[in-house]
Amino acid sequence: MKFNCDRQKLNKAVENIQRSASSKSSMAILEGILLRAENNTLTLCGYDNEIGVTTTIYAHIKKEGAIVVTAKLFSDIIKRMPEDLITIEADEKLVMHISAGKAEYKIIGMSADEYPDLPIVASPEKISVDGKTLKSMIRQTMYAVSDKDENPTQKGSLFEMANGTLSIVSVDGYRLAVRTEKIKYEGEKSVIVPRKSLQEIINLISDDIEEIIIRASGRHLTMLIGEYTIITRLIEGEFMNYRATIPTSFSTEALINTRMFASTIERMSLLLTDRIKTPIKCCFENNIVTTSCNTSKGEATDEFEAQINGNYVEIGLDNKYILEALKFSETDEVRIKMNGSLKPIVILPSDGDDFIFLVMPVRLRNG
């Protein structure tokens, strides 16, 4: 194999591909990137048996061939080469020669024949989603994906497609995040996408990506994101009936400035540490939200104005959970709906229900 290409284009492709290569595996081949040179095209692939990413760039191919090279080392070399025109050649002994300007490297590669084949998703259905919309939907819900092993189906987000809408749902037992948008797909399909794959999808969606094509079949899902194709193994199992956890009626509703609420929670959080898990007490009454925190470090109180309708509520909230919900609302104002001190609070946009965030309360010591 021998080719030359633009170093900057190769560097960008390698940086994106190497994240899907395994960082530490019992199979050394999975820590590598597959390079395949043919028809003036260089194809790059990273795969760790859970998620795979492929892309192609133009290259002047002098001799066709394929090789696997250690992802991190190859990336570090390409990134630091001094010239924009780079030449790469691999011999029959799997030694790769990399040169640009006066800089030259020889590194040991691995046989492309030993690299695992990516799964094939044969679904004839393709689902089209706007790139910015999908990125926003994943960002606004991924924070609620569980990082615990008790329930595997909660270690990813549910992609639920039905009646011309896409809902992305995440839950971890203490909070729930739902984001819904209309899409041009009238079929019905539900899949659970792992957290690592969600993060990789976000990384690959740049601002100029207008359309993303999704295909799902059996145990795998693919997305065509610009010049990249990502394939991920899906989480098998039945996702919880999340709709049953969302209250349909409320005794108290508050329209709140998001930044103001987040700021006061952050001020209360100064008295908390990883070892001190005291909930923050929030009281909603007479168009005033009062917050307080009492720990072994000291005491703090604060208050701000809001539009409040309904019964007085005194509720304890986990500072991390409520702050993340407010942050990922990405709106200036939110509606907060409540049913007393022991029922979950529901956070919605000031108008409509494009997102629904649910946060479980924490019992106060005097409650």
pLDDT classification of 181: cutoffs 50, 70, 90: very high
Q: What is the mean pLDDT of residues 337-359?
A: 96
Q: 127-241 in CATH: which number? A: 3.10.150.10
> pLDDT by residue (tens digit) across 290-345?
999 999 999 999 999 999 999 999 999 999 999 999 999 999 999 999 999 999 99
What is the pLDDT, as a whole number, of residue 27? 87
Task: Report residue 27: phi and psi, to 5°.
Answer: -105, 110
pTM: 0.93
**Domain boundaries, given as residue ranges, for the chain:** 2-114, 127-241, 246-359
* Average pLDDT over the chain, rounded to an integer: 95
- Neighbour-count burial of 122, counting CB atoms closer than 10 A to its CB (0-12 exposed, 13-18 middle, 19+ buried): exposed
Please report, for residues 70, 201, 238, 254, 338, the alpha-carbon distance to residue 310 in angstroms, rounded to integers and kept in the order given: 62, 42, 37, 9, 9
CA–CA–CA angle 149, 192, 226 (5° rounding): 125
% of residues, the chain, pLDDT over 90: 90
What is the pLDDT, as a whole number, of residue 365? 81
What is the pLDDT, as a whole number, of residue 143? 96
Query: Above 50 in pLDDT, residue 367?
Result: no
What is the pLDDT, as a whole number, of residue 225? 97
Question: Is residue 214 within 8 Å of residue 222, measured between CB atoms?
Answer: yes
> pLDDT by residue (tens digit) across 17-52?
999 998 877 789 999 999 999 999 999 999 999 999
Q: 2-114 in CATH: which number? A: 3.10.150.10
2-114 with 246-359: one CATH topology? yes
Please report, for residues 257, 268, 276, 284, 315, the alpha-carbon distance to residue 336 in angstroms, rounded to integers and kept in the order given: 11, 19, 26, 10, 12
> pLDDT by residue (tens digit) across 112-141?
999 999 998 888 889 999 999 999 999 999
Q: Which of the residue ranges 16-30, 55-69, 271-285 has the most confident prediction, judged by mean pLDDT?
A: 55-69
pLDDT classification of 366: cutoffs 50, 70, 90: low
Q: What is the mean pLDDT of residues 190-213?
A: 95
DSSP 271: T
Cα–Cα dist 322/302, whole Å: 16
pLDDT classification of 160: cutoffs 50, 70, 90: very high
Higher pLDDT: 184 or 349? It is 349
Q: What is the mean pLDDT of residues 194-214?
A: 95
Question: Is residue 203 within 8 Å of residue 230, measured between CB atoms?
Answer: no
Residue 263, both tokens: 């700021």
Q: Which CATH architecture has domain 246-359?
A: Roll (3.10)
